[in-house]
Amino acid sequence: MESTHKVDGENAETAAQTAFLVGLQRAGESPKEASALISELHELVTNLGITVGDSTIVRIREEHPRYLVGAGKMEEIAEKARAQGCKLIIFDDSLSPAQQRNWENDSKLRVIDRQEVILDIFASRASTREAVLQVELARLEIQLPRLKRLWSHLDRQRGGGSTQRDAGETQIEMDRRLLRKRIAKVRTELEAVKRHRATQRKQRQRVPLPTAAIVGYTNAGKSSLLNKLTGTSLLAANKLFATLDPTTRRLTLPNGRILLLTDTVGFVRRLPHQLVDAFKSTLEEAVQADFLIQVIDISSPEYAAHWQTTRTVLAEIGAAEKPLITVFNKIDTLTQPTTTDAARELHPDATFVSAHTGEGIETLLAKLEQKTNEQQYPAQLFIPHERHDFLGKLRATATVLSEKHEDTGVRVEALLPPRILTAAAAFTV
């Protein structure tokens, strides 16, 4: 694959181009759904600094093998793109390697699809070693079946003799071997990073604090909510995929207990499956958490679809059955109060907040405290004075209902989280 927006000099060249967007309305999809998706593609593309010249939505009953759309529609789209001065066509769908090659050969324009756009955004946001490796792995896996596209210039330069064709094929095979070797190396490096993250997680769990992961559609305000709850100042930009790497912060609940909150990468519809696989290690924070906080941007007309997308991805990573708190964010931006009424009908137990103004945050904190307490077990303990260290850990990680100091120790009635049950067993009375 010849990446069109790599984060280097080539990226600047592509960013200066004007793109023509192509959306598809498949059988069973409404015009509203198709329009929402191409609007999202518009936002994705502009996040890369690419100007959008025009767009169109094509209704298709079935996929055509050569261009995805019919040959007549291909010519029509290419003509519209050229008329608008667009040198780049971007599909809001996945093109097969052959379809992408056919489009470029016959339209004489650069043609990419949604997954390449998302990959390039991820590449521009990646900052840690893990994120960089994950993006590279996804790129390589997409690039491998598209190698022939890189060598299409040979078809135009050679005279068609079998010797020249064999030379071209030999070069492709050499490149494939190199790519496979690089993929294997990146996978090995990612496994090493994954083991390091597992070690860090074990170190955190030595002090068995309850944990919650903040999940949701990209740009729903997850980082802003984490900042508001914990008083930190993480990057919380109003752009897609502003956060790629999970970040954990301590939150002191109203009852004095500590909750570890982790911000995770945002989800998006039609996320390339290579990225779902590659980012599983990042999303493991959601799998390992005691419960989830799903944040939804209530100001988006597509909030119901965003909720469903998040649930789908959570199911893919094995976190669908986790206890969940639903939070509708950005209520300060609403102009129609009926929007919250409709959301309440779908999610009666949801909490409505503004991470910007702080409205609803106290209610959310109470729910976080309640959810933390739900996963606790009543216990009667006697802790000798020489084990004052465990008493301190108990106060930080459990809900202490009462303490009675005696000559040889402290008698404690408490609600214990699952992670401290084993350690507390030695003091149970």
Predicted model pTM: 0.73
Question: Do 351 and 393 reside in the same domain of the chain?
Answer: no
Domain with residue 20: its CATH number is 3.40.50.11060
User: Do 290 and 175 lie in a common domain?
Assistant: no
Q: How many CA atoms lie within 13 A of 133 on its CB side?
A: 19
Instruction: State residue 195's pLDDT score.
Output: 84
Which of 145, 174, 206 lies at the terminal end of a domain, its last residue? 206
Query: What is the chain's mean pLDDT, rounded?
Result: 83
User: Per residue in 362-377, pLDDT tens?
Assistant: 999 999 999 988 877 8
Residue 267 and residue 178 share a domain:
no
What average pLDDT does the segment 82-102 reach?
A: 93
Q: Tokens for 409, please give them.
A: 């120790």
Q: Does one domain contain both 360 and 407?
A: no
Query: Does 112 lie in the same domain as 169?
Result: no
Element (H, E) at 322: none
pLDDT, tens digit (0-9, with 9 covering 90-100), for 211-231: 899 999 988 999 899 999 998
**Tokens found for residue 230:** 């914990």
User: Which residues are 250's β-sheet partners?
Assistant: 260
User: What is the predicted pLDDT for the residue at 277?
Assistant: 64
Structure tokens at 292: 């989830």
Q: Which residues pair with 134 in a beta bridge?
A: none
Q: Are 22 and 52 a contacting pair, CB within 8 Å? A: no
Among 206, 230, 263, identify where a domain stops: 206
Q: Give the whole-angstrom CA distance, residue 303 versus residue 72.
A: 36
**Mean pLDDT confidence for 62-83:** 95
Co-location of 267 and 170 in the same domain: no
pLDDT on residue 270: 78
Q: Is residue 56 part of a domain?
A: yes
pLDDT, mean of residues 396-414: 89
In a domain, residue 413? The reply is yes
3-state SS assignment for residue 46: helix
C-alpha–C-alpha distance, residues 250 and 341, integer Å: 33
Q: Is the pLDDT of residue 422 over 80?
A: yes
**Residue 270 and residue 166 in one domain:** no
Same domain, 253 and 367: yes
In a domain, 1, yes or no: no
**234-252 pLDDT per residue, tens:** 555 555 565 566 688 899 9
Domain count, the chain: 4
In a domain, residue 3? The reply is no
pLDDT: is 104 or 193 the higher one? 104
Whether residues 224 and 345 share a domain: the answer is yes
Q: Is residue 189 domain-shared with residue 292, that is, in the same domain?
A: no
Domain boundary pick from 125, 153, 172: 125
Given this model, what pLDDT does residue 406 score? 93
Instruction: Scan for tokens 């191409």, then name that residue.
Output: 38
- Given this model, what pLDDT does residue 21 score? 97
What is the predicted pLDDT for the residue at 239?
Answer: 56
Whether residue 280 is found in the same domain as residue 259: yes
Q: Which regions of 128-210 does DSSP assign to beta strands (E)?
A: none
Could you give phi then psi for residue 356, rounded to 5 degrees? -80, -50
Range of the domain at 182: 127-206
Q: Please, are residues 374 and 368 in contact by the beta-carbon 8 Å criterion? A: no
Give a yes or no: residue 111 inside a domain: yes
Has residue 4 been placed in a domain?
no
Residue 243 maps to a domain: yes
- Give the model's pLDDT for residue 268: 82
Same domain for 333 and 244: yes
Which CATH number goes with the domain that contains 297? 3.40.50.300
The verdict on residue 2 lying in a domain is: no
